[in-house]
Amino acid sequence: MKITCLLFCFILIFGCSSTSDSHNLNDQLHDGMYCAKVRVETKEKIKTYKLTITTKNNYLQKINWPSGGWLDRSHYKLPEFYDNETTLIDDRGRKFEIKIIHRGECK
């Protein structure tokens, strides 16, 4: 009986402990540039791009297009990231689904 109780306590204590190298996806993003998978849905079609985005205070600030153009807060309400993902609808009615791939610009 004592061994069972000790085993239960051991599993409970070490099973719930966190490690210093684990990363919680709900952690706030660092301000800066990220490479992201961007899915754009219009009435006519759906396209997926790999684009560089900019974040600040865990909100999407800007989507950069390879042609030199961009979308920013003048085209949409600033969406917040949860689990490194966010969605938005821009001023032209397009739906954007954005998922961060890695920190830094896309290459």
Query: What average pLDDT does range 93-102 have in this prediction?
Result: 98
Work out the mean pLDDT of the chain and round it to a whole number.
84
Residue 8 belongs to some domain of the structure:
no
Residue 18 belongs to some domain of the structure:
no
Residue 5 belongs to some domain of the structure:
no
For residue 90, what are the domain limits? 32-103
> Has residue 60 got a pLDDT over 80?
yes
> Has residue 75 got a pLDDT over 50?
yes
State the CATH number of the domain containing residue 38.
2.30.29
> Has residue 11 got a pLDDT over 80?
no
Residue 47 belongs to some domain of the structure:
yes
Q: In which order are the strands placed within the sheet that holds 46-56?
A: 70-72, 59-64, 46-56, 32-41, 95-103, 85-89
Residue 98 belongs to some domain of the structure:
yes
Residue 55 belongs to some domain of the structure:
yes
> Has residue 12 got a pLDDT over 90?
no
Query: What average pLDDT does range 72-93 have in this prediction?
Result: 96
Long-range own/partner contacts, residues 14-17 (CB < 8 A, 24 or more apart): none
Residue 91 belongs to some domain of the structure:
yes
Confidence of residue 28 (pLDDT cuts 50, 70, 90): confident
Domain total in the chain:
1
